[in-house]
């Protein structure tokens, strides 16, 4: 049903990008928080929750925008960092979950004239779950493999505080199938644009070089 699809998307997005907690142990209020320098990310979070609770947004001098939302107890399902079993029982709830996680953590792009889909995260178990379910859909997914080790310093200056893992899809047929399946569920404006660009890249390459 639509409710489960929306729930699956929110769980995927939460595991990628949201801090969720009760303000105090017996609180009826669920606090959701995140921060980003990407305007579209903040817009997306606001759009996901504004009809359910009060949203506060504040931008710091460093151009990072923080967002907080106060939600009622019906959002307790976001407190857990575990993936509920029902998500993989249905193809559509898995795809909605994957779209949510992709909107938070995924990277769809064209590099060296070739389309690629990849997701990076510290939680290897989440990536294993995604990889397994994608391969079950005959979408060839590599990984998870360790891409940055603990204490590695990123080119943007921040240090990884634990090992960081990635999964990757770069086969053209697998990418086209993946894009077709997750397109109805992706909500992030930048990811929608990137998906179309990657899709066009593959179609042009197929015309030029054959499938």
pLDDT tens track for 14-62: 999 999 999 888 889 999 999 999 999 999 999 999 999 999 999 988 8
Tell me the pLDDT tens digit for each residue of 106-148: 999 999 999 999 999 989 999 999 999 999 999 999 989 987 6
CB 87 within 8 A of CB 8: yes
Asked whether the predicted pLDDT for residue 189 surpasses 80, the reply is yes
Q: Which helix (H) or strand (E) holds 21?
A: strand 19-22
Kindly indicate the confidence band of residue 162, based on its pLDDT and cuts at 50, 70 and 90: confident
Residue 58: the pLDDT is 96
CB 5 within 8 A of CB 185: yes
* Residues whose CB falls within 8 Å of the CB of residue 168, separated by 6 or more in sequence, listed in order: 116, 117, 118, 141, 142, 143
User: From CA 148, how far away is CA 168, in angstroms rounded?
Assistant: 15
Asked whether the predicted pLDDT for residue 156 surpasses 60, the reply is no
Residue 110: the pLDDT is 96
Kindly indicate the confidence band of residue 158, based on its pLDDT and cuts at 50, 70 and 90: low
Asked whether the predicted pLDDT for residue 88 surpasses 90, the reply is yes
Looking at residues 180-195, what average pLDDT do you find?
97
* Residues whose CB falls within 8 Å of the CB of residue 138, separated by 6 or more in sequence, listed in order: 174, 177
Where does residue 186 rank: exposed (0-12), middle (13-18), buried (19+ CB within 10 A)? buried
Tokens 């504040």, residue? 58
Q: Which helix (H) or strand (E) holds 131?
A: helix 124-136
Asked whether the predicted pLDDT for residue 153 surpasses 90, the reply is no
Kindly indicate the confidence band of residue 102, based on its pLDDT and cuts at 50, 70 and 90: very high
Kindly indicate the confidence band of residue 210, based on its pLDDT and cuts at 50, 70 and 90: confident
Looking at the chain, the whole-number percentage of residues with pLDDT higher than 90 is 82
Asked whether the predicted pLDDT for residue 155 surpasses 60, the reply is no
Classify 83 as helix, strand or coil.
coil
**Which runs of E-coded beta strand occur in 112-192?**
114-121, 142-148, 164-169
Query: Which among 156, 180, 196 is positioned nearest to 98, based on CA atoms?
Result: 180
Tell me the pLDDT tens digit for each residue of 15-26: 999 999 998 888
CB 132 within 8 A of CB 97: no
Looking at per-residue confidence, does 62 or 85 come out higher? Answer: 85
Please state the pTM of the whole predicted model.
0.92
Classify 145 as helix, strand or coil.
strand
Residue 97: the pLDDT is 98
Q: What is the mean pLDDT of the chain?
A: 92
């Amino acid at each position: 049903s639509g409710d489960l699809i929306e729930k699956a998307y929110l769980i995927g997005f939460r595991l990628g990008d949201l801090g969720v907690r009760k303000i105090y142990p017996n609180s009826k209020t669920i606090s959701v928080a995140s921060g980003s320098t990407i305007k579209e990310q903040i817009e997306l979070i606001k759009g996901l929750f504004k009809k359910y609770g009060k949203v506060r947004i504040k931008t710091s001098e460093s151009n990072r925008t923080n967002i907080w939302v106060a939600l009622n107890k019906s959002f307790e399902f976001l407190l857990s960092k575990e993936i509920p079993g029902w998500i993989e029982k249905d193809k559509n709830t898995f795809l909605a979950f994957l779209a949510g996680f992709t909107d938070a953590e995924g990277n769809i792009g064209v590099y060296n004239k070739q389309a690629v889909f990849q997701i990076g995260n510290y939680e290897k178990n989440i990536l294993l779950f995604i990889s397994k379910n994608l391969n079950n859909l005959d979408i060839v997914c590599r990984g998870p493999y360790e891409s940055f080790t603990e204490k590695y310093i990123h080119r943007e200056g921040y240090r990884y505080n634990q090992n960081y893992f990635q999964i990757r899809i770069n086969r053209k047929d697998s990418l086209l199938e993946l894009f077709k399946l997750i397109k109805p569920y992706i909500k992030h404006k930048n990811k929608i644009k990137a998906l179309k660009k990657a899709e066009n890249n593959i179609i042009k390459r197929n015309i030029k070089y054959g499938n």
